[in-house]
Amino acid sequence: MGANASWIGHDLPPIVRSGVEYFLLSHRGQLYLVPNACPHRGGPLKFGYINEKEQIVCPMHHNAYSIERLIARDTTLRLCVDPS
């Protein structure tokens, strides 16, 4: 997998912050915590997949969501790495 490939942390335990469950997403060299609820019906996006259009496809109803739009939402957290 290339350095800028996108991937979902399927095998990682759930990350919960302020009562919201997140999953880890790597996209274009950045790490994000994205809410695990599909915008359509709340399905677990963590168990979806990334298609060739850089969309996350929900495993329940197969709705596809642009990664760029998901990471632009105010509920998505960008993780920063401390360079020290």
Backbone angles phi, psi at 8, to 5 degrees: -115, 135
Count of the separate structural domains present in the chain? 1
Within-domain flag for 44? yes
Contact (Cβ atoms closer than 8 angstroms) between residue 61 and residue 24: no
Q: Report the pLDDT value the prediction gives residue 73, as an integer from 0 to 100.
A: 86
Residue 23 is assigned to a structural domain of this protein: yes
Please give the chain's pLDDT, 84 residues, in tens: 555 678 888 888 888 988 989 999 988 888 899 999 998 999 999 999 999 999 999 999 999 999 989 888 888 888 876 655
At 51, which CATH number? 2.102.10.10
In a domain, 69, yes or no: yes
Entry pTM? 0.78
Report if residue 2 sits inside a domain: no
- Domain range for residue 53? 7-78
> Does residue 84 lie within any of the structural domains?
no
CA distance 14 to 46: 9
**Torsion 46-22-26-51 (CA) sign:** positive
